[in-house]
Amino acid sequence: MDRLIYFKEMVARVECKGTTFDVYATADGSFDEKKSQLILELDCFANSEKSSDQEKLVLPLTLPSPETVRETMDRDEAIEAAKEIFESWVRRIRKSAPA
């Protein structure tokens, strides 16, 4: 499998107990040539200025659980499809994170 894309976007800023947290969406995508399949690992997490970039914090928020999306397609369609799936994921996270 070839790594195809990686997206990371800040989708919300949340105040909790006097600390500001940034909520991020991520997508890590690869393409399986043998199966002609896009595989996209979707995740989200929150961190603050007080936490390291690698540290995922547990907040009193209901964020979506990580998901794996598999779609069969030609490789030349995979990047555009990954962008569309990621945009939908970002909208879902925005709905779940209070403003």
Structure tokens, 4:
């195809």
pLDDT averaged over 10-residue windows placed end to end, the chain, 99 residues: 90 84 94 96 86 54 89 96 98 85
Structure tokens, 95:
């709905």
Distance CA 81, CA 76 (A): 10
Distance from chain centroid for Cα 88: 10
**pTM for this prediction:** 0.85
